[in-house]
């Protein structure tokens, strides 16, 4: 490895180590949920891919309103929970042929920050596919969170939402 490249790598590692030390006790959390559906990947993707209609498969949400950009990458939507609070999200990537999308929360009533999430559909066998929903985020309460805002509580909150929505997405994809 040449000297400038070695110095660049060393500087990058030092910067990462400094960031890790500064964020000690404030972990990046990850949530991953999947559901197997008795439907083709195309059918499963059709059930979940509408950026402008989250409520069509995720019953926790009452409505989706496009704030800007339509349904293209960079667009912003406001999604409203059935009990009233609203989230604002930005579409970061949409790959129709690859059956995947990625987005981030801009503003949320949830006690989490730096939330980036994605969904994808993969074919498992003939007539069967998996819908996968994953994310990374941090809890809003950085220092000494109470039991309702610690890492475990945040993962339970996000994972519970994913499980409920994916259970309904399964029904939608299977035409039930």
- pTM listed for this prediction: 0.82
Give yes or no for residue 20 having a pLDDT over 80.
no
- How high is the pLDDT of residue 7? 30
Helical axes 151-173 vs 41-48, angle rounded to 10°: 120
Token pair, residue 134, equals 């994953």
- Chain-centre distance for alpha carbon 123: 20
Q: Give the pair of three-digit tokens for residue 64.
A: 């989706």
What's the Cα-to-Cα distance from 75 to each of 65, 103, 110, rounded to whole Å?
11, 10, 21
Domains in the chain: boundaries = 27-173
pLDDT band at 77 (very low <50, low <70, confident <90, very high): very high
Average pLDDT over residues 2-19: 34
Domain 27-173 class in CATH: alpha beta
Percent of the chain with pLDDT over 70: 86
Burial of 66 (0-12, 13-18, 19+ CB in 10 A): middle
pLDDT of 48-70, one tens digit each? Answer: 999 999 999 999 999 999 999 99
Whether 148 shows a pLDDT value over 70: the answer reads: yes
Q: What is the mean pLDDT of residues 75-87?
A: 93
Please name which of 157, 165, 172, 130 lies closest in space to residue 58, comparing C-alpha atoms.
165
Residue 11's pLDDT band, with cuts at 50, 70 and 90, is very low
Kindly tell me if the per-residue pLDDT of 3 is higher than 70. no
Partners of 125 in the β-ladder: 128
The answer to whether 27 touches 136, Cβ cutoff 8 Å, is: no
Q: For residue 25, name the pLDDT band (cuts at 50, 70, 90).
A: low
Give residue 144's pLDDT.
75
Q: What percent of the chain has pLDDT over 90?
A: 72
Find tokens 């790959």 and name the residue: 95
């Amino acid at each position: 490895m040449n000297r400038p490249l070695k110095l660049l790598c060393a500087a990058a590692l030092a910067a990462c180590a400094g960031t890790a030390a500064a964020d000690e006790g404030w972990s990046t959390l990850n949530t991953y949920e999947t559901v197997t559906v008795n439907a083709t990947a195309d059918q499963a993707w059709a059930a979940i891919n509408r950026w402008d209609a989250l409520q069509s498969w995720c019953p926790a949400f009452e409505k989706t309103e496009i704030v800007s950009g339509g349904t293209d990458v960079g667009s912003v939507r406001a999604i409203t929970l059935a009990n009233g609070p609203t989230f604002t999200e930005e579409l970061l990537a949409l790959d129709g042929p690859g059956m995947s999308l990625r987005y981030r929360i801009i503003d949320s009533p949830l006690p989490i920050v730096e939330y980036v999430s994605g969904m994808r559909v993969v074919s498992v066998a003939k007539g069967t596919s998996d819908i996968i929903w994953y994310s990374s985020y941090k809890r809003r309460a950085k220092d000494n969170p109470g039991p309702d805002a610690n890492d475990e509580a945040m993962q339970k909150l996000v994972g519970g939402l994913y499980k409920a929505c994916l259970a309904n997405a399964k029904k939608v994809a299977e035409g039930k």
